[in-house]
Amino acid sequence: MRRIATEEAFSIPEIAHALRKLCESRTGAQNIDMMLVRNIYGDGAGYQAQFLAPLLDIEDERLRDMDANGVDMQVLSLTAPGVQMFDADTATELARVANDRLAEVIARHPRRFAGLASFAPHSPQRAVREMERAVRELGLNGFIVNSHTNNEYLDDPKYWPVLEAAEALDRCIYIHPRGPSELLAGPMRDYGMFAALWAYGVEVSTHAVRLILSGVFDRFPRLKICLGHMGEAVHFWSWRLDFMSERAQRAGAPRLQLKPSEYLRRNFAITTSGQESPLALEFSIRQLGIDNVLWAIDYPYQPSASAVAFMDGVEVTDEQRHKLYHGNAEKLFHIAPLAQ
Ligand code: VNL
Ligand code: MN
């Protein structure tokens, strides 16, 4: 059984270095992303400092971990917050370097790695050029964006060129979490909620609902958005989103051609990164359809072994397991199927 893991994080020394500089230059900042960045890239005191080495390693320990756990391929993406905390010029340049590096690694291990391209949303025109280069010249498999950029979301018309490019290039945009935007962040500072425990899901689910309700999927009907962490629970709200959005439209919200639940089935795919609940998976398959659910680990933040054990063990048909483990990923990310 070919296993393709679809939300697997990496970084490069240039970006780790730039993030470390950011920690030093904004020491007083209470910004949640700075808490996150310090955790990994700061003075080594952060509780997540152990992730820095495995993020930077792609071809040694990572490949051994994949071999040991029967993971055939990782779809790599530049880890959060990506390039989005830097100024537009720095972000544009670092995205380009990260994409080049990614393409080089994939060229050396075409059966082991695929990759999602980064871009700097804060400079939409240059982002579009990088997206085109990433697909046409580098052959990358899709795009990654770490949710908001300077507290703005992709439904903002200034970002429509990015959505248009993704649709035209037929590559999905994977919306990965970062620390929540300013006004969502306040209540997330306590009890360890600020990142993967809770805040990440609030941030990305809010982003997804904004996209749906703004009507961008009527403008870009073939745009595909991928959400990790079992869809950040957005589809759990399908019925209520449908019901309440009708009410909101009657009260002046943008008119939508479809119901939110219909956009979720048509324009979204979700992955199981960092969510090993069989019940949540069963619900997701029934709500979104088996073709829209993909397996992921969230390496190195989550262990490969339990992610494999989870997907090996869930009670689905063989045909469904094939789709979850690789068939859907091959289609969504344009990965060549193995010769029969
Ligand atoms: C992620 C997941 C990041 C779990 C984390 O810390 C974490 C991620 C930065 O998916 O980016 O603990
Ligand atoms: Mn992740």
Number of folded domains in the chain?
A: 1
Q: What is d(CA 208, CA 232) in angstroms, rounded to the nearest whole number? A: 9
The confidence score (pLDDT) of residue 24 equals: 83
Exposure b/e, 15-39, CB count within 10 A at least 16 = b? bbebbbebbeeeeeeeebbbbbbbb
* pLDDT tens readout for residues 64-81: 999 999 999 999 999 999
The confidence score (pLDDT) of residue 270 equals: 99
| Nearest atom (ligand 1) to Cα of 7 | 10
Exposure b/e, 208-228, CB count within 10 A at least 16 = b? bbebbbbbbbeebeebbbbbb
Task: Tell me which residue has its CA closest to atom 9 in ligand 1.
Answer: 36
> Is 42 a domain residue?
yes
| Nearest atom (ligand 1) to Cα of 229 | 10
Do 295 and 286 contact (CB within 8 A), yes or no? no
Percentage of the residues of the chain whose pLDDT score is greater than 90? 90
Q: How far, in Å, from the CA of 53 to the mean position of ligand 1?
A: 14
Predicted model pTM: 0.97
Counting every residue, how long is the chain?
A: 340
The confidence score (pLDDT) of residue 146 equals: 98
Q: Around ion ligand 2, which residues have CB less than 5 A away?
A: 298
Q: Alpha-carbon dihedral of residues 11, 13, 14, 16, nearest 10 degrees?
A: 60
Q: How far, in Å, from the CA of 22 to the mean position of ligand 2?
A: 21
> Is 195 a domain residue?
yes
Give pLDDT < 50 ranges for the chain. none
Summary mean pLDDT of the chain: 96
Encoded tokens for 42: 């700061």
Task: Tell me which residue has its CA closest to atom 11 in ligand 1.
Answer: 80
Q: From the CA of 271, which ligand is nearest?
A: 2
The DSSP annotation for 116-163 comes to: EEP--TTSHHHHHHHHHHHHHTT---EEEE-S-BTTB-TTSGGGHHHH
Q: From the CA of 194, which ligand is nearest?
A: 1
The domain of 247 spans 4-332
| Nearest atom (ligand 1) to Cα of 177 | 11
Residue with tokens 């007083």: 28
> Is 339 a domain residue?
no
Q: How far, in Å, from the CA of 315 to the mean position of ligand 2?
A: 25
CATH of the domain at 183: 3.20.20.140
| Nearest atom (ligand 1) to Cα of 40 | 9
The confidence score (pLDDT) of residue 28 equals: 59
The confidence score (pLDDT) of residue 29 equals: 59
> Is 337 a domain residue?
no
Residues 6+ apart with CB under 8 A from 165: 127, 128, 131, 132
Ligand 1: residues with CB < 6 A are 9, 36, 48, 79-80, 195-196, 274, 298, 301
Helix (H, G, I), strand (E, B) or coil at 108: helix
The confidence score (pLDDT) of residue 138 equals: 98
Residues 6+ apart with CB under 8 A from 145: 82, 84, 118, 119, 121, 154, 173, 174, 175, 176
> Is 120 a domain residue?
yes
Kindly state the DSSP code that residue 326 receives in the 8-state scheme.
I
Q: What is d(CA 212, CA 214) in angstroms, rounded to the nearest whole number? A: 6
The confidence score (pLDDT) of residue 85 equals: 95
Q: How far, in Å, from the CA of 276 to the mean position of ligand 2?
A: 14
Q: Which residues are catalytic?
A: 298
Cis bond before residue 81 (omega within 30° of 0): yes
